[in-house]
Amino acid sequence: MHQHHSMICKGCWQNLHLPVLLRGPLSIPYRMLGLRPSRMNPNTCTFCELAFTRIMKARNVTIDATVLFADLRGYTAASQSLASSEMNSTLDAFYDECAEAIWKHDGLLNKTLGDAIMAVFNFPIRQDDHAAQAVRVARQIQRRWRARRTELVEGLDIGEDSLCIGIGISSGKVSFGEFGQSHRDLTAIGTVVNTAARAQSVARAGQILVTGAVRDRCEQDMVNRDGTKYDLKGLATPVELYDAGEADRQRLA
């Protein structure tokens, strides 16, 4: 990881106008108070993760957000024939490339789910164009991974589409907060989250599928305006999804 990180918490500055220092000697007093860079986004602090519980006096809040799921295709199958060191290096690289792209565009790397990740945009750092930012991140992940994958799979006996990435993105209202009793989980839930996860599950290796809500919010950045209806597991009616592949490299470089 070589990304330059912010010296102050972007979330606290944007929402509370508080200059919470994250790095350098002057950050020591903040760390003594338990304020340190968040593992979900090192440009925000641990207070941002739970700010709504302190300020809004609620365990969860409803926010307008964009949710992105990315999955490393064929990881489980490949792990059965390759050395554990090779598979661990591949998974670490996948996490790193996803994280760097997400944080560059002020997203939250909310979860790592085995060979998949979940990201949330528009919390705690607000973005008017969060849907477009998520598409930019997806394209950057695919671009970075194509270059990284060539190095990682050199000499390995795997299929052409193995260890490629499929991505799904959806936008709308989600509930974000702490869920669960025995184990508190800070995450987003709702139909938007489920749809993004299901869109990712039907995306082909190297493909980015987005919902109509995402397309409508960043239509000027979309290439393929013709959608395809998919029967997604757990959803009552077919959902139209749109390919957001990186054909227009000029606008989203």
Residue 13 CB burial class (10 angstroms; 0-12, 13-18, ≥19): middle
Of 118, 109, 97, 113, which is closest to residue 192 (Cα–Cα)? 118
Predicted local distance difference test score (pLDDT) of residue 199: 96
What pTM, to 2 d.p., does this model score?
0.85
Tokens coding 99: 């994280």
Q: Cα–Cα distance between 243 and 224 in angstroms, integer?
A: 6
Distances (CA, A) of 250 to 127, 131, 218: 22, 18, 15
Q: Which two tokens stand for residue 149?
A: 């994958």
pLDDT tens-place values along the chain, 253 residues long: 456 688 888 888 787 788 888 888 888 888 888 888 888 888 888 887 666 555 555 677 889 999 999 999 888 777 777 777 777 888 899 999 999 999 999 999 998 988 999 999 998 889 999 999 999 999 999 999 998 888 877 766 666 667 899 999 999 999 888 776 655 677 888 999 999 999 999 999 999 999 999 999 986 656 567 888 999 888 889 999 999 987 543 443 3
Compute the distance between CA of residue 207 and CA of residue 216 in angstroms, rounded to an integer: 19
CB 127 within 8 A of CB 133: yes
**What six digits make up the tokens of 131?**
């849907």
What pLDDT was estimated at residue 26?
83
> What tokens appear for 127 in the block?
């973005």
Interatomic CA distance for residues 164 and 98, integer angstroms: 13
